[in-house]
A and B are shown apart, each in its own frame.
Chain A
């Protein structure tokens, strides 16, 4: 790693942590219904929305009602996205006259955006109309994120309340998350990004003259659209001269902002934040990267504040940050050191004043190795999934780090809300085992952890591996699954494993290398996304309900403190142990073999 790499990573981490407290404080005030600076402006809107939708904001919900509200709302959202895609050809704001989308792809995308995954089997600029992007995808970017935050807040209430059977009001939590947190932050970020050159327009795609005429050869197609062949069976080539290029544009800045802030990650353009109109400058890159982890990090502080002990929040944030930093320092050097096989060909891969060195395949030169590898770790630590480089082209270890970050359950920062509630599930397991080890019925934040909580926590930890391993196994067993793999072998296996790791943990980033926009993958991945989102959210709400009904155990001498370095180590240990033990065999057959083959191990 170069000293510049260290500098960039440090600046990023320090900025992230510095913002955790102020934003965390702000969010805690929002959820506790206290006045924040924006009240005068937003409170009337909030009241109006409740009145229009017939919601009584004072009404408290049991966890079951809360869960039903959440499921119905997300189901309706998914149906709306599905309908918009299918009908977009006959709807307005479609300057490119893009046609309706196939049912399997529309299902996949609807599931993907409703679950905050934002896996994209399609290419945005050649598939989605502006209306679908704005009314379908961007709306889901907001509300799927707000859903995750609502579940988290409900869980926190489970810890803070005692002897009651309600955990808050889903509609209020959803509205406040969107109105007071996501909207203002997105507005600011969108304006700054537009300032940096991210495009924001309703105009149709622009044809621009090229600076230099480009000529190239391409296979000549016959009238039936099939490539013509000569007598020898070779394709007939024709030469083409390109004088102008059609540049895709659209209302990108507004969508990019929430895509980053809401850990959505679904790019406006196909290549996501590697696209110069989605992420033009190093500053826009820094801000987009920062906004991925901004809310998940700050929510830890919110959590601490709401449970009345900020040390609890800092402890979890520390655990997340430690794992994150260690993995950054594995991924970045892996990319920087490049491929030893190339060294044999006398290729200079060392960093110097004139070149970045290392593995630059699939990376943008305006970002370089550090910011590409850092982004890869950031986007998979959070369940964001946006990319500014192609992960498929990373070195085996550089690619394994993002994959494993997803596999450990998207709890290192994770999705907005979902990351922290996932981490709290791990904390419950950690507390359970450690409670036993000190001879006390386990308790976390004053709540006894008993069989019911263990059952629910076990489900949340069980589902993602089931989706990832089960899905991958199915895909490599059936012909339709194997047919999509372009690189059979260990790397092809890594690509399939990556796809299911991404969908099964609601990340949404892709390794690429497999053509996933097929009915088989669209359906299987769509189901994986739905299961791992809602089969986690519902048990978490069940725990919230069960905890809220419990008494609060006062802290005593025998209580295990959960803000100490020891507990942080234990929490990290639990996450890594479960993650490692579950995925070691699969990783061994994918990236590990690739790496060993690359370095020529015997």
Chain B
């Protein structure tokens, strides 16, 4: 069912080309203004361009070629940052376009006329629009939310409601609406589609990757404030350096004051251009990575919040357990053999098309070799499950075999004048305590025994929860089961806690309670009754197979309808923050080396003793300043892949993670520029450019 994501190599040729053009288009001042750090670089570039023109007229304080070189690299810095943003946008847009065009897994039979029996054409479910009429036959999935206009059918809605018994859907009345992702088990329906599936989300998502419409996330805003503060500090440092230098020249009587070109170069090197230039690329790339994982987010805020999740609420059915229960044992009452029970149970289930029903037939066959018998050749009449009797069964050769929930059967046998055996209560309880569902079988007024329907916990789910626990996320299972059953399944699946006999109100209350404690709550859900809780949760992932109401209430849609996808969503959220933090640290740590390059160079003529600080032994003041500026520009390009990919997240605990990242990006950020600037200086000298 899962779609493969479009495999864009990091630098797709087509995207690169478009990004190059965009880099220049983004030079418009109103675009630059949005990024205060890069706006300073932009203004500096304009200023040095003017200085270069002045120098061409022979009035420059620095050689014209030097000013030109600095100016070109400053413009380069701006363009590289633009390029990073453009390439992130390009890749995300390509991803979105792919998702939009890709065929949805649900194929629909679109009717030419809104009547049963008309011609139909097979189309992709995603192409359906409100008002289209489709035919859904036994075994088909319902392609989207809609209303039955013709026909009656039993529909398995377990994927959405968690209720395993099939429901009847028919035109007119209360039972006329069907939800996307459910499956018709028998007969057929003609349905008028009432929503435009999927499209709205994709449109919103694409808006998030386009710079013009993109809203900064709260965290981005906070970081921008910090970056602006740092920029202001460095602006102050460089602006005041001019009077300091003038004073030093005047009192020492030696050398030349620092020039504007050098001051601009110093300013651009000091302000956090690395993170400033890559900030929006990181955000766009994060949204893009979500799409690669087939998750459509409708707000960047939600993606970011995903990294902070403390509590995760999961529906039991379809998430922790396979959607349907399966028969796992026959437990007969005293005086009845297990084989007799199995025989009766199989007979009662022959016509039962529900997964549970089929599993009873299969279990009986496996255990006692009963072959499947055809209901019609036996001359039996099948008794449908109904909401009133809450039983199903068969009438065959005068035998009335029924199966159903314990209290339903109890009512049934008591009506027939028999008594429900008291020791039987214990039998039923035992089954429930094991986390299974007891299904009682009776023949006439006689209770035969219990079929144990077991919830099958999905393979590998326990490990996924362990992973979440390591991330510091508490998992809570939500189920309509009673406490006993819920506790047993919770233990087997390895969730931290559970909410049994849950109603929509209880779910909502639970979420509010956690939020009041200051925790961030994530929830995955798919049913309409989940919608209020999804709307309340901080991060709400709706399954694509779920109802439209659920999708509208959530802030992400998982196209794969895989509830454990949340782990990847959390990782992506964390990666976005981590990449920003790491590059901020790196950017600031870089400044140390840049000081060592520029300060001795800038005051070489006034205070030659400061050359002691030229620890990198850069060739000349001009090469030192140029090397720092070039390094500063190139490091943006060098870090584009990291910004797009995001840095790796591993659940190893906050302190350890911080330590690792501090070592790599903090200490690394101190060392790398010393090497980089020296290498560029050597290169410039070798080429004879300085």
Residue of B nearest to A478 (CB): B243
Q: Interface-forming stretch among A20-28, A316-324, A437-445?
A: A437-445
Shortest A483–chain B CB gap in Å is 13
Q: Of B470, B578, B592, which contacts A438 at CB under 8 A?
A: B578
Chain A 548-575 residues near chain B, CB threshold 8 A: 551-554, 556-561, 564, 566, 570, 573
Chain A contacts of B474 at CB under 8 A? 556
Q: Is A394 an interface residue (CB 8 A)?
A: no
The residue in chain A whose Cβ has the minimal distance to the Cβ of B574 is A439
Asked if residues B252 and A440 are in contact (CB atoms below 8 Å), the reply is: no
**Complex: chain A residue closest to B659, CB-CB:** A566
A45 at the interface (CB under 8 A from B): no
> B517's contact among A434, A474, A490, A554, by CB below 8 Å, is which?
A554
Contacts of A582 in B (CB 8 A): 233, 236-237
For B662, the chain A residues whose CB sits under 8 A away are 434, 437, 566, 570
Interface secondary structure of A, over-half rule: helix
Contact B577 A440 (CB under 8 A): yes
Q: Which of A575-589 contact B (CB under 8 A)?
A: 577-578, 580-582, 584-586, 588-589
Q: Are A437 and B582 in contact (CB under 8 A)?
A: yes
B370: interface (CB < 8 Å):
no
Kindly state whether residue A461 has any CB partner on chain B within 8 Å: yes
Bound-complex Cα distance A490 to B254 (A): 12
Is there an interface contact between A473 and B243, defined as CB atoms closer than 8 Å?
yes
- Which residues of chain A are within 8 angstroms of B252 by Cβ–Cβ distance? 489-490
| Cβ-defined partner of B248 (8 Å) among A435, A580, A589 | A589
How far is the CB of A295 from the nearest CB of chain B, in Å?
Answer: 30
Q: A441-B304, A470-B236, A577-B588 in contact; A454/B609 too (CB < 8 A)?
A: no
A461-503: which residues lie under 8 A (CB-CB) from chain B?
A: 461-462, 465-466, 469-470, 472-474, 476-477, 482, 488-490, 492-493
Tell me the complex Cα distance, A469–B241, Å. Answer: 9
Contact between B573 and A439, CB atoms less than 8 A apart: yes
How far apart are the CA atoms of A602 and B614 in the complex, in Å? Answer: 12
Instruction: Using CB atoms, name the residue of chain B closest to A598.
Output: B609
Closest to B584 in A: A433
Which residues of B in the span 507-559 have a Cβ within 8 Å of any Cβ on A? 516-519
A436 at the interface (CB under 8 A from B): yes
**Chain B 575-592: CB-based contact to A (< 8 A → 1; otherwise 0):** 111101110110011011
Question: B630-656: which residues lie under 8 A (CB-CB) from chain A?
Answer: 649, 653-655
Partner of A589, one of B236, B245, B310, B665: B245
How far apart are A325's CB and chain B's nearest CB, in angstroms? 23
* A436 engages B470 (CB within 8 Å): no
Contact (Cβ within 8 A) A458 B226: yes
A578 vs B230: C-alpha distance in the bound complex, in angstroms?
9
Q: A441-B308, A473-B244 are in contact. Are A450 and B658 (CB under 8 A)?
A: no
Question: In the assembled complex, how far is the CB of residue A531 from the closest CB belonging to chain B, in whole angstroms?
Answer: 14
Q: Which residues of B contact A433 (CB under 8 A)?
A: 226, 581, 584-585
Given A477-B246, A559-B472, check contact A446 B518 (CB 8 Å): yes
Contacting residues, chain B, for A453 (C-beta < 8 A): 222
Q: Are A585 and B241 in contact (CB under 8 A)?
A: yes
Which residue of A439, A466, A564, A580 is within 8 Å of B575 (Cβ)?
Answer: A439
- Which of B307, B591, B655 is in CB contact (< 8 Å) with A439? B307
Across the interface, do A435 and B471 meet the contact criterion of CB distance under 8 Å? no
Q: How far is the CA of A469 from the CA of B240 in the complex (A)?
A: 6
* Given A438-B654, A455-B225: A466 in contact with B246 (beta carbons within 8 A): no
Q: In the complex, which residues of chain B have a beta carbon less than 8 angstroms from the beta carbon of A441?
A: 219, 304-305, 307-308, 577
Q: A437-B665, A581-B270 are in contact. Are A458 and B591 (CB under 8 A)?
A: no
**Given A439-B307, A490-B252, A585-B241, A593:B609 Cβ within 8 A:** yes
Closest partner residue, chain A, to B474 (CB atom): A556
Q: Pick the contact of B237 from A482, A489, A558, A585 — CB < 8 Å?
A: A585
Tell me if A214 is interfacial: C-beta within 8 Å of chain B.
no
Closest to B306 in A: A439
A440:B308 contact, CB within 8 angstroms: yes
B603 at the interface (CB under 8 A from A): yes
Report how far A553 CA is from B584 CA in the complex, Å.
25
Question: What per-residue 1/0 map shows which CB atoms of A448-459 lie under 8 Å from chain B?
Answer: 011101110011
Contact-residue bracket for chain B: 35 or more
Which residues of chain A from 146 to 164 have a CB within 8 Å of any chain B CB? 162
Note all chain B residues with C-beta closer than 8 A to A455. 225
In the complex, the answer to whether B610 meets A440 with C-beta atoms within 8 Å is no
Cβ-defined contact, A437 with B610, below 8 A? no
Instruction: Evaluate contact between B603 and A454: CB separation under 8 angstroms.
Output: no
Task: Assess whether B222 is in contact with A462, with CB atoms less than 8 Å apart.
Answer: no
Q: Which residue of A lies closest to B270 (CB)?
A: A581
B225 with A465: CB separation less than 8 A: no
B607 on the A face (CB < 8 A): yes
Structural contact, B226 and A454, CB atoms closer than 8 A: yes
In the complex, A557→B613 CA distance in Å?
A: 44
**Cβ contacts under 8 Å, B244 to chain A:** 472-473, 476, 493, 585-586, 589
What are the interface flags for B450-474 relative to A under an 8 Å C-beta threshold, 1 for contact and 0 otherwise?
0000000000000000000111111
- On whether the beta carbons of A473 and B240 are closer than 8 Å, the reply is yes
Chain A residues 488 to 529 lying within 8 A of chain B, measured CB to CB, are 488-490, 492-493
How far, in angstroms, from A458 to B231 measured CA to CA in the complex?
A: 11
Q: Say yes or no: A489 contacts B251, CB within 8 Å.
A: yes
Q: For the complex, is B247 an interface residue (Cβ under 8 Å from A)?
A: yes
Within 8 A of A (CB), among B302-316: 304-305, 307-308, 310
Q: Name the residue of chain B whose CB is nearest to the CB of A596.
A: B609
A436 neighbours in B (Cβ, 8 Å) = 219, 223, 577-578, 580-582, 584
A592 within 8 Å of B by Cβ? yes
A588–B607 alpha-carbon span in the complex (Å): 10
Q: Does A429 contact B (CB under 8 A)?
A: yes
Q: In this complex, which of A438, A440, A466, A492 has the most chain B Cβ atoms within 10 angstroms of its Cβ?
A: A438
Choose from A446, A578, A580, A588 the contact partner of B603 (Cβ within 8 Å): A588
Contacting A at CB under 8 A, from B601-643, are: 603, 607-613
How distant is the Cα of A450 from the Cα of B666 in the complex, in angstroms?
23
- Are the C-beta atoms of B222 and A586 separated by less than 8 Å? no
Which B residues touch A434, using CB under 8 A?
Answer: 581, 658, 662
A440 CB contacts on chain B under 8 angstroms? 307-308, 574, 577, 654
Tell me if B221 counts as interface (CB < 8 A to partner A): yes
- Report how far A380 CA is from B519 CA in the complex, Å: 42
Contact of A601 with B by CB under 8 A: yes
* A477:B222 contact, CB within 8 angstroms: no
- Chain A residues near B610 (CB-CB < 8 A): 588, 592-593, 596
Which of A453, A492, A558, A570 has the most C-beta atoms of chain B within 10 angstroms of its own C-beta?
A558
Q: B471 touches which one: A162, A557, A586 (CB < 8 A)?
A: A557
B595 and A585 within 8 A (CB): yes
* Cβ–Cβ contact A557 & B233, under 8 A: no
A432 at the interface (CB under 8 A from B): yes
* Residue B685 at the chain A interface, CB threshold 8 Å: no
Taking CB atoms, residues of chain A closer than 8 Å to B245 are 589
* Given A489-B251, A493-B244, 20 other A-B residues pairs in contact with their CB atoms under 8 A: A432-B222, A432-B223, A436-B578, A437-B578, A440-B577, A451-B225, A458-B225, A462-B229, A469-B237, A470-B236, A473-B243, A556-B310, A557-B469, A560-B655, A561-B655, A566-B655, A577-B589, A596-B609, A602-B609, A602-B612
Q: What are 6 A-B contacts defined by CB distance under 8 Å? A: A433-B585, A439-B657, A441-B577, A451-B221, A462-B232, A585-B599
Top 3 closest pairs, chain A to chain B, by CB: A436-B581, A439-B574, A557-B472
Partner-B contacts on A (CB < 8 A): 162, 429, 432-441, 446, 449-451, 453-455, 458-459, 461-462, 465-466, 469-470, 472-474, 476-477, 482, 488-490, 492-493, 551-554, 556-561, 564, 566, 570, 573, 577-578, 580-582, 584-586, 588-589, 592-593, 596-597, 601-602
Residues on B facing A (Cβ under 8 Å): 218-219, 221-223, 225-226, 228-229, 232-234, 236-248, 251-252, 270, 304-305, 307-308, 310, 469-474, 516-519, 573-578, 580-582, 584-585, 588-589, 591-592, 595, 599, 603, 607-613, 649, 653-655, 657-659, 661-662, 665-666
